[in-house]
Chains A and B, each alone.
Chain A
Amino acid sequence: MISLAGRDIMNAWGKFVFTGLGLGLLIGVTLSMAGIYRGMVDDGKALLDNSGADLWVVQKDTLGPYAEASSVYDDTWRGIHAMPGVARVANVTYLTMQVRQGDRDVRSMVTGVMAGEPGTPGWPPYLVAGRQITRGHYEAVADIATGFNLGDRLQIRRNHYTVVGLTRRMVSSGGDPIVFIPLKDAQETQFLKDNDAILQQRRRTTANPNFNRPQIPGLLEAVIALQSSNAYVNAVLVQVATGHDAEEVAQSIRRWKRLTVYTRSQMEEILIGKLIATSAKQIAMFLVILSIVSAAIVAFIIYTLTLGKIREIAVLKLIGTRNRTIAGLIMQQSIALGIIGFVVGKITATLLMAPIFPKYVLLEPLDSVIGFVAVVVICILASIFAIRAALKVDPAEAIGS
């Protein structure tokens, strides 16, 4: 038996190919949306992976440092370092802001890292150019997505930094590239007030007789110095020693330090389940709407194509063609349209759409497989209207009235 669907497609291949192209662009957008979601999840995981930490110690009862603000006293790390099962500890700060370079600024997550050696928690695990930060002040390592180059001078608040190293895939959970600077600078950056505010605060402190006591020399200076410095970080990153269970170490820190501690899996749950949950739902809604629109378009096209063949279908039924053969003709055409659309969509998403999105788009092979199955199922469902119309055709229509 010949393939009626195949013959019809070959006879009107131009119509099918152009319709498939249009559908393919829609499927390409759908695959890209899935890729954007995967990219967001991957950004979150990359942030955790690249921090090099097994545990995140944050302010008690907060979801910090990524999903909520968290302040931990910057001496806390010393006590944690002494606890059993702890191999390495480091303070870290995170601040998303506009980093200025020349006459442009780039939205970045400025991360303050402690002095140390490669492998210190919070440090970029590898560089693609240059070197790590070796000085205590005014050096920076930037992700290449910032567009900065080695030797560039960056302005972060009032200070200037020189880019000494470049890294890759170091992004925040929101996809903003990271700029690493020394911890002390980062602490200052987070809490630095403008000059007028500092002057007014000093004036108020000087006017306060509790602080300004001439009989106690140095008190006023000490209070002003305290007000001008920042002794807080956002989190303490902990690497667990080999052979120790991360959850047990976390329990110990929670118990003795009265801080909140998250393991890697808990932090992943916070990032993916809470931080990007709304965005994920937004994208999921887009996916559902795009799927419905795709289904409606396929249904409409196949229905229209079928209506254009009513006389042929009546003749086919009159000469004894089975209903399942006619249903097969329509369904095969619908699936063929879906396959053309999927191939076009996959190529479009991979080669045209993904590279031009500003954020990372991760097209997973499994998503493509799921997408293909979804397209085929949608095409089968969409063909039902046309099949119903075709099966309702009275073979008597072929005989003139």
Chain B
Amino acid sequence: MTGKGIRIEGLKKRYGRGDTAVDALKGVDMQVAPGEVVGLVGPSGSGKSTLLKCLGAVIEPTAGRMILGDEVIYDNGWKVKDLRALRRDRIGFIFQAPYLINFLDVTDNVALLPMLAGKSNAESRKQAVELFKALDVEHRAKAMPAQLSGGEQQRVAIARGLVNRPPVILADEPTAPLDSERALAVIRILNQMARKFDTAIIVVTHDEKIMPTFKRIYHIRDGVTYEEAGEGRGFD
């Protein structure tokens, strides 16, 4: 990679109009540096998902600024023409469930992204296999998703998020379905990958067991974020 992480300033999102309008985000500020993993926590209805969708260029904010690496991608309007390419090349996604494409084998699940970006099949698969080595799922490269354990599926999903070397990865509750040991293993991997690929990772969670692992945590409540120093235990 890489770039300079992600920074958002005064990000707002309003749903609806007039009397029925709801301000889901009321001016969110946030900055995540390359190689850093931060937590984003908050109760249901606090605006976590809305923030994640804005960061993922899935919905358009109402106002504010977003800077990805060196480039302003949103400044009271999208500054990037092709949001699809932005999501494909510069934002990685890891979901609560792995959501692997069940009709593609493990390698093609990951190699699909570089293929979509125009790389050759061979080059894309090579990129995928390199990540499998780092994530210790190389031996499952030819398996179908249904043949993997939950932990293996989540590691493949992490590989998919990383494969295009995006400057930022958005992880939506990546440890929710896992027990403590596996949840901590996933966070360990995310930390390793963030440092290895100089990627900024935002982990949306309300999983208490992984909270101590973050050095910085953003709390979101009623559409406003508050930064808090975390314990950052265990992964230095």
Instruction: Let me know if B113 and A320 touch, CB within 8 A.
Output: yes
Interface flags, B64-105, vs A, CB<8A=1, else 0: 000000000000000000001111110001011001011110
Instruction: Let me know if B160 and A400 touch, CB within 8 A.
Output: no
Can you give 11 A-B contacts (C-beta < 8 A)? A1-B121, A312-B101, A312-B103, A316-B101, A318-B58, A320-B86, A398-B93, A398-B99, A399-B49, A399-B93, A400-B95
What residues of chain A lie closer than 8 Å to B89, measured between beta carbons? 320
Known contacts A8-B103, A319-B113, A320-B87; is-contact A395 B58 (Cβ 8 Å) = yes
The closest CB in chain A to the CB of B105 belongs to: A7
What residues of chain B lie closer than 8 Å to A322, measured between beta carbons? 84, 116
A8 to B115, CA, bound (A): 17
Number of interface residues of B (CB under 8 A): 31
| Interface, chain A (partner B; CB < 8 A) | 1-2, 4, 7-8, 10-12, 311-312, 315-316, 318-322, 325, 394-396, 398-401
The closest CB in chain A to the CB of B111 belongs to: A2
Interface flags, B33-52, vs A, CB<8A=1, else 0: 00000000000000001001
| Interface, chain B (partner A; CB < 8 A) | 49, 52-53, 56, 58-59, 84-89, 93, 95-96, 99, 101-104, 108, 112-113, 115-117, 121, 144, 160, 172-173
A-B pair count, CB < 8 Å, reads 77
Nearest CB of A to B214, in Å: 19
Instruction: Let me know if A319 and B53 touch, CB within 8 A.
Output: no
Among A315, A394, A400, A401, point to the contact of B101 (Cβ < 8 A). Answer: A315
Known: A2-B115, A319-B113, A319-B116. 10 other contacts (CB 8 A): A1-B115, A1-B116, A2-B112, A7-B108, A312-B99, A319-B87, A320-B117, A398-B93, A399-B53, A399-B56
Known contacts A316-B101, A319-B160, A321-B116; is-contact A399 B88 (Cβ 8 Å) = no
Instruction: Let me know if B88 and A320 touch, CB within 8 A.
Output: yes
Among B87, B96, B108, B173, point to the contact of A2 (Cβ < 8 A). Answer: B108
What residues of chain A lie closer than 8 Å to B53, measured between beta carbons? 396, 399
Nearest CB of B to A17, in Å: 15
The closest CB in chain B to the CB of A8 belongs to: B103
Known contacts A318-B58, A400-B49; is-contact A2 B101 (Cβ 8 Å) = no
Known contacts A320-B88, A399-B49, A399-B93; is-contact A11 B172 (Cβ 8 Å) = no
Instruction: Let me know if B99 and A311 touch, CB within 8 A.
Output: yes
Q: Which of B56, B59, B103, B172 has the most CB of A within 10 A?
A: B103
What residues of chain A lie closer than 8 Å to B52, measured between beta carbons? 399
